[in-house]
C-alpha cells in the first residue's frame, strides 16, 4: 500500500509539472510564455500571446494532467483519500513545476481535470455554468470561478459524499487564492491584461482580441 501511495503522489505531481504552456510557447513562437502578456503559465495567456489553437491544446493538456493523476490512483486501487491527494498533487505540480524551478501557473484547468475524473456528471453541470458565464461576459476567469464555486453544492445534491464536497470546496478556495495573488502581483507590476471586472471589453469569449 505504501509503495502505491508514493507512486500515486509522485506521478500526480510529475504529471502536473508538465509545463504545457511553456512548451507551446517555445514550439509555436520560440517565446517564453512567462515573458508574454500577464506572464501566466496557462492556456488563456497562450491563446492571447501565442495563438488560439495552441491555447486550446494547452487547455486540453492541463485538464488531462489532472484527470490522469486521479485515474492512475484509482487504477492502483487506493482509498478515496489518497486518490484526492494524488489529484491535489497534480494541481500543486502545475503551480510549482519541478521542471521550471517551481514557478508555474494558477492550476485552474488542472483542477477542472481532477474534478472531471472524480465526479464527471457533477463536473458537467459546473462546466455548463462556466460556459454560459463566459459567453455572457467574455471573462474566462470569472466563468471558471463561478463554475467551480457551484461544484460543492452540486456534488452535495447529487453525490452526497462529504469528503468530495470538502475536497471540491478546498480546491476552489486554493485556486481562488492563487488567482487573487496573481492579480495583486500584476497590479504591483502595472500589468493589466483583462479590462473590466465582470465584462471583458478587450476580448471575445473565444479570446480573439477585438479590432
Whether residue 199 lies inside any domain: the answer is no
Whether residue 113 lies inside any domain: the answer is yes
Q: Among candidates 25, 14, 99, which has minimal Cα distance to 55?
A: 25
Query: Does residue 195 surpass a pLDDT of 60?
Result: no
Which residues constitute the domain of residue 100? 2-189
Whether residue 101 lies inside any domain: the answer is yes
Whether residue 196 lies inside any domain: the answer is no
What percent helix, strand, coil does the chain show, rounded to 5? 75, 0, 25
Q: How many residues does the chain have?
A: 211
Whether residue 204 lies inside any domain: the answer is no
d(CA 17, CA 167): 21
Global confidence as pTM: 0.85
Whether residue 207 lies inside any domain: the answer is no
According to the model, what pLDDT value does residue 72 have?
97
Query: Does residue 59 surpass a pLDDT of 80?
Result: yes
How many folded domains does the chain comprise? 1
Whether residue 202 lies inside any domain: the answer is no
Q: Which three cell numbers, joined as nine digits, stand for 193?
A: 491584461
Q: Among candidates 13, 16, 185, 17, which has minimal Cα distance to 100?
A: 17
Region class of 46: left (phi > 0), else alpha (psi between -120 and 50), else beta: alpha
pLDDT in tens, 121-176: 999 999 999 999 888 888 888 888 899 999 999 999 998 789 999 999 999 999 98
Amino acid at each position: 500500500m505504501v509503495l502505491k501511495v508514493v507512486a500515486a503522489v509522485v506521478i500526480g505531481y510529475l504529471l502536473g509539472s508538465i509545463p504545457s504552456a511553456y512548451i507551446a510557447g517555445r514550439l509555436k513562437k520560440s517565446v517564453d510564455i512567462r515573458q508574454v502578456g500577464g506572464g501566466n503559465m496557462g492556456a488563456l495567456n497562450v491563446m492571447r500571446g501565442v495563438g488560439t489553437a495552441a491555447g486550446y491544446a494547452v487547455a486540453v493538456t492541463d485538464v488531462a494532467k489532472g484527470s490522469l493523476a486521479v485515474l492512475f490512483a484509482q487504477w492502483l486501487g487506493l482509498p478515496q483519500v489518497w486518490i484526492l491527494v494524488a489529484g491535489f498533487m497534480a494541481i500543486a505540480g502545475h503551480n510549482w513545476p519541478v521542471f521550471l524551478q517551481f514557478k508555474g501557473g494558477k492550476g485552474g484547468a488542472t483542477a477542472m481535470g481532477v474534478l472531471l475524473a472524480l465526479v464527471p456528471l457533477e463536473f458537467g453541470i459546473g462546466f455548463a455554468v462556466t460556459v454560459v458565464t463566459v459567453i455572457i461576459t467574455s471573462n474566462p476567469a470569472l466563468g471558471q470561478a463561478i463554475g467551480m464555486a457551484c461544484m460543492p453544492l452540486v456534488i452535495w445534491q447529487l453525490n452526497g459524499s462529504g469528503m468530495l464536497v470538502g475536497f471540491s470546496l478546498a480546491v476552489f478556495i486554493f485556486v481562488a487564492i492563487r488567482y487573487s495573488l496573481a492579480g495583486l502581483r500584476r497590479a504591483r507590476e502595472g500589468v493589466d491584461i483583462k479590462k473590466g471586472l465582470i465584462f471583458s471589453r478587450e476580448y471575445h469569449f473565444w479570446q480573439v482580441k477585438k479590432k
